[in-house]
Chain A
Amino acid sequence: MQLFNTLKKQASFIAAVPALIWQILFLYVPLLFLLSASFFKRWPVFNVYDLTFTNIAAVITTAHFKIIGWSLIQAMTIATACLLVGYPVAYFFAVKMRRWKNFFLFFLMLPFWTNFLVQAYAWFFVLERNGLLNRFLLSLGIIREPLQILYSPFAVILVMFYCYLPFMILPLYGVLEKFDLRLIEASLDLGATSSKTFFKITLPLTMSGIRNGFLLVMVPAFGEYAIPAIMGGGRYLYVGSLISNYFLESRDPAVGSSFTTVSGCVILFIVLIISRVMASPKQIQKQER
């Protein structure tokens, strides 16, 4: 009986572990590879004595950091824009439209369920010279000649904003839906104005949703490849495009690994900072059994 019990316990442990092993094997080991490949001359990694810093040196240049910086700024801009639009919309549905909220949310998310390439592609017809936007502006007389919007940084940002907006709305909606509205009533009852209530009560208590949404948008946007490739005409270099270039086109995986490592560190650092800045107010959590 005892033996059977211990066997059962072992089986339980063995069953639970694969997920962790998978993560370690396919995420952390490859990351280690990237990190170490940055320091080796040849590819794939052979000899310990091939250690070199030339790869790293090749990427610590102003040009590279300009690209990283630009991608970072773009990612944060998009995340902020998504937040500024997404929060009121999520608030509107979660708080104001209590009865129909699921219905409206469903329709809001519908475009989200399509392939994002299709979503991006759809914008061609709006943004091109003969497209909907230009025709609209021309017909209103706001412009005299069609604008070249496509294949510009603006197009890239706009389409990324479009594709990532649902990623911001979903976590915000999740947090706002669970938000206890009586807290707002209590605050108003105690004499705070609506806006004070928002900044002192609602905002801090929904901060986890804000942070998650912000990171869910910012991180992928930083490393985005496909949308700049389609919408930017491949003319502007972002982190994603450069990494792809190193690995697939110019076939310089060693330098590519270095650049990926450096970019990865930068974004991780930013994520840590943002997690600190957008921390939820301290609350006592339920005890784990």
Chain B
Amino acid sequence: MVKSLVSRVWLPVLASFTYLFLYLPIIVLIFLSFNASDFPFKWDGFTLKWYASLLHEPELFIALKNSLLVALTSVALSLVMGLLFVYCGWQYRLYRFMPAFLAAVALPEIVLAVGLLSFFSFFSVPLGLTTLIVGHTLLGLSFVIPIIRTQFLELDYSLTEASLDLGASEAQTFFKIILPLLSPALVAGGLLVFILSLDDFLISFFCSGPTSQTLSLYIFGMIRLGVSPTINALSTMLLAISSLLVIAFCSLNISNRGL
């Protein structure tokens, strides 16, 4: 292929700058989380005290627990309902209704959040973790269903027929053949919804009650109070945990690809 100046010089340069751009603030953040000084740009020595102070924040742990609970439940609900919709719904041509799931992505999340708020308040539903789960699952479905459907379309239908031909019932075929072959989509979708839910701010902001603090709201609250090294420590920890999760996920993927 013709190697022009663009591809030789400019593209790599742009890519490098993008990397730099993406990592710069984060590196600064990590750096400062170990800074003993109260003031950001006066380096006073290495310390872990800000991390230690995190352990003394009970609200943080409550928020974390809530976020995890909501995230895992939303993932489970989205995956199960999404899978059933794609798989069982195929014979009834329910995929014609797939555009209905687009609205959750075609509208800004704040519209969804406010709509849910109106809905819940009209029916006097108390706002709490349950209402959060409802909202996150709503978002989750919009992401999970296209992902599962794409993988489902790539499934070789003759594999289902082969399984039936060899004597397996429809249920057995589903669990032994379809499910394993759809698992990449399920894992990808599940991970996506998990992160979406953990990260979610707007729906939590509008639809969580006074007792249901989530991680995003906690962080937002802290930031609103101003810059503090504790936030730096928390941020670095979150970064580390997410990175580990993603590394674990990717290595799972790679070992699967070895097949």
Q: Do chains A and B directly touch (beta carbons under 8 Å) in the complex?
A: yes
Known: A20-B100, A27-B104. A34 touches B138 (CB 8 A): no
Q: Which of chain B's residues has its CB closest to A107's CB?
A: B19
| Interface residue total, chain A, C-beta cutoff 8 A | 92
CA distance A16 to B2 in the complex (A): 51
Which residues of B lie under 8 Å from residue A225 when comparing CB positions? 110, 201-202, 205
Are B91's CB and A12's CB within 8 A?
A: yes
Q: 14 interchain pairs (CB within 8 A)? A: A16-B92, A19-B141, A22-B137, A104-B15, A106-B250, A113-B195, A115-B199, A117-B220, A121-B223, A126-B28, A135-B41, A162-B21, A223-B202, A257-B114
In the complex with contacts A18-B81, A117-B216, A111-B23 CB distance below 8 A? yes
The residues of B that contact A37 with a CB separation of less than 8 Å are 118
How far is the CB of B142 from the nearest CB of chain A, in Å? 8
Interface centre among B6, B88, B145, B170 (most CB of A within 10 A): B88
A209 to chain B, nearest CB (A): 14
Q: B residues near A, CB below 8 A?
A: 1-2, 4, 6-7, 10-12, 14-15, 18-19, 21-26, 28-29, 32, 40-41, 81-82, 84-85, 87-89, 91-92, 94-95, 97, 100-101, 103-112, 114-119, 121-122, 134-135, 137-138, 141, 145, 157, 170, 195, 198-199, 201-202, 205-206, 215-216, 219-220, 223-224, 227, 231, 234-235, 238-239, 242-243, 245-246, 250
Whether B215 pairs with A115 at a CB distance below 8 angstroms is yes
Residue of A nearest to B6 (CB): A194
Say yes or no for A137: interface residue by CB 8 A criterion.
Answer: no
CA distance A184 to B1 in the complex (A): 9
Complex contacts, B4 vs chain A, CB 8 Å? 194
Residues A28 and B103 in contact in the complex (CB < 8 Å), given A116-B199, A122-B28: yes
| Complex partner residue of B138 from A18, A26, A122, A243, CB under 8 angstroms | A26
A236 at the interface (CB under 8 A from B): no
Residue positions of A touching B, CB distance < 8 A: 8, 12-13, 15-20, 22-24, 26-31, 33-34, 37, 44-45, 85, 88-89, 91-93, 96, 102, 104, 106-111, 113-126, 128, 130-132, 135, 162, 165, 181, 184-185, 188, 194, 215-216, 219-220, 222-226, 229-230, 239-240, 243-244, 247-248, 253, 256-257, 260, 263-264, 267-268, 271, 288-289
B94 A20 Cβ-Cβ under 8 A: yes
Q: Hey, which chain A residues are within 8 Å of B145, CB to CB?
A: 19
For A29, A33, A271, the residue with the greatest tally of chain B CB atoms inside 10 Å of its CB is A33
Q: Are B22 and A33 in contact (CB under 8 A)?
A: no
From A22, A115, A256, A260, B238 is in contact (CB under 8 Å) with A115
Contacts of A271 in B (CB 8 A): 106
In the complex the two chains form, what is the Cα distance from A120 to B32 in whole Å?
A: 15
